[in-house]
Amino acid sequence: MIQFFFVAIVLPALVIMLFALLFALSRVGSPDWIRRIRRGPRAGTLKLWHVMAAVVVAALLLHAFTGPPTEDRLLSLEILALGVLVGFARTWCNEFGFLMGLRDDEFPGRNDKLIWAVVLLALAPFGVWFFRSYRLAHWPGPKFVTVSYAEPDQEPSGRAATQPA
């Protein structure tokens, strides 16, 4: 039953996620991608790929830990480890892109941008965490503004619209 679940649901979801990842990585060098990173993540939005990833991770964990260790169960653990590495690489690319999108005069020190680049390159797992903490402290995400729209028969000033007879 678990093998059927793995073949019928997990493998097609992995194929779809692979193509989604490939198309997402094709935008890495574009200036629009760097501008989008500078705006910051949208907090509290749940997308379809989040749900798909949660289902795939749950299925892979169930498949890996519901029986004796075999080659196919080890393969599911390897896929999970690869997913963690891809997630880290994506986070690293986002943080490095944000750093490269900043101007030198936005840092307090003269060589701060160079120092942060070296930290991100040399101390990759910890450097990402350190720079993300520094970034959120110095350049927080955009504040959301609520916009109220006027009624269709109202002008922006609040007066009723006059229409010629």
Q: Structural domain boundaries of the chain?
A: 2-138
Shortest CA distance to 21 belongs to which of 123, 89, 117, 100? 89
Predicted TM-score of the model (pTM): 0.54
Count helices and strands in the chain by DSSP H and E runs:
7, 0
For residue 52, pLDDT over 50 is answered with: yes
Question: Computed over its alpha carbons, how large is the radius of gyration of the chain?
Answer: 23
Q: Assign 110 to helix, strand or coil.
A: coil
CA distances from 33 to 40, 90, 106, 132, 155 (A): 11, 13, 20, 18, 37
Q: How confident is the model at residue 43 (pLDDT cuts 50, 70, 90)?
A: very low
Which tens digits make up the pLDDT trace of 116-125?
Answer: 999 999 988 8
In this structure, the number of other CB atoms found within 10 A of the CB of residue 33 comes to 16
Which tens digits make up the pLDDT trace of 135-158?
Answer: 888 877 655 445 555 555 555 555
Which tens digits make up the pLDDT trace of 88-101?
Answer: 999 899 899 989 88
